[in-house]
Amino acid sequence: MIDEKMAEKIHWARELTTFVKHFCCYSMTQIKPWLLTFVIALLGVQGACVSEVTTAGSGTADTIRKDTMTYKIQKTEEEWKQLLGEDAYRVLRQKGTERPFTREFETQWEAGTYVCKGCGQELFSSETKFDAGCGWPSFYQSMDKSKVKEIPDLSHGMNRVEVVCSGCGGHLGHVFNDGYGQPTGLRYCINGVSLGFVKKP
């Protein structure tokens, strides 16, 4: 059950998410420096809210996300913890969310392939990565539709589409239809801590 205090946090996380989503539709070059600073501060609050809500309400999220697929890569929870470390485990295996603007891949533009940190499966090409201004690595498509699995996600009172690795079931992020100006019109918003990177030779 979600108590009144947690419900209030979810409400504000949703409001901040909506604000940031609309803000990111505009060109950063047209935003005054003081306003950009204000929005980045809001992003930090949003990340903290979403992180706390996701970890504290993981039981609710698990009951709403309908994923019955059996994945090729199987490990015990203890094995995943040893392999991934605390931060990656929380996101990949517990469906957490990292704070925006905190991972190197968000601003990385080298040519190469982004892979699942859990199992090494190829997920996204650097050729489809774009600057969405949202604070998380963004791509307009995956390398192949078989590489990721999309799952309806109604957790935390929101209607979203979760993206997981089809190899191990690791949580990657979500996909949205606000990839403005991109070939597919989609934005795969991916947690940087869920990814590894193989540089192009």
**Taking residues 162-166, what's their average pLDDT?**
97
pLDDT (tens digit per residue) in 170-201: 999 999 999 999 999 999 999 999 999 999 98
Tell me: pLDDT of 64 over 90. no
pLDDT (tens digit per residue) in 12-44: 554 455 455 444 444 444 444 545 555 555 555
- Encoded tokens for 33: 């420096």
Catalytic residues: 189
What is the residue extent of each domain of the chain? Answer: 4-199
pLDDT (tens digit per residue) in 141-156: 999 999 999 999 998 8
State the average pLDDT for the chain.
79
Say if domain 4-199 classifies as CATH 2.60.40.10.
no
Q: Look up the pTM and report it.
A: 0.69
Q: What sign has the CA pseudo-torsion 155, 160, 161, 165?
A: negative
State the alpha helices, DSSP H only, in the chain.
4-23, 33-56, 58-64, 77-84, 86-92
